[in-house]
Amino acid sequence: MKAEGAQPLLEALTAKKGAIIREWLARTIQTYPEHTSHFLSEEKDPFRNPTGQTLREGLPALFDQLVEGSDAATLSRLLDPIVRIRAVQDFSASQAVAFIFLLKQVMRDALEGETHRDPKGEGLAAVEARIDEMALLAFDSFMKCREKIYEIKASEAKRRTFVWDRIQGDRADAG
């Protein structure tokens, strides 16, 4: 993301990083049911709250890469732990990756009144395109995780059927 005119906007985003990350984390946690979101935001022990810890570590790293303009492989690597967790939780695909789109509004809110830094909107458009790219990478990761879950479930069903058939065969032989 090296759009012409983006540098002042990137500097403004970097200067407001702490506030942006806190708000992005809060909004992401709000995507969970109320009792879960309360736990995720309050419990700081990483062993009792690995989901919260993953979000607290992952979102700042994703933000840094967004501002720095890193490659898709790096973004995918950073997205993976968050998406894996959301893939095994009770989220649809759109709900699982929605946390990425929340960053757009958080950034807009943080930059409110600072249009002089990006008068033509080129920088914001470049940053938002990068967020869209992150969402697509997250969706790919989510689908891979779900495919793996379904493969595991299918293998388990086959194993159960095999064991059941074996038990039934042993009973028939004994009778």
pLDDT of residue 5: 59
Number of domains in the chain: 1
Tens-place pLDDT, residues 11-43: 889 999 999 999 999 999 999 999 999 999 999
pTM: 0.82
d(CA 166, CA 151): 22
Mean of all residue pLDDT scores within the chain: 88
pLDDT of residue 115: 63
- 13 in Cβ contact with 111 (< 8 Å): yes
The verdict on residue 27 lying in a domain is yes
Highest mean pLDDT among 5-14, 112-121, 141-150: 141-150
Residues 155-165: what's their mean pLDDT? 77
pLDDT exceeds 90 at position 77:
yes
Where in the sequence is the domain holding 111, given as residue range(s)? 7-145
Identify which has the larger pLDDT, 148 or 21: 21
Query: From the CA atom positions of the chain, what is the Rg in Å?
Result: 22
The verdict on residue 151 lying in a domain is no
pLDDT of residue 1: 46
Q: Which two tokens stand for residue 113?
A: 């009144």
pLDDT of residue 79: 96
d(CA 27, CA 56): 12
Q: Which two tokens stand for residue 98?
A: 């929605």
d(CA 21, CA 26): 8
**Phi, psi of 62, deg, nearest 5:** -65, -40
CATH number of the domain residue 17 falls in: 1.10.490
Looking up tokens 């757009």 gives 104
Looking up tokens 């990761």 gives 141
pLDDT of residue 92: 92
The verdict on residue 158 lying in a domain is no
d(CA 8, CA 11): 5
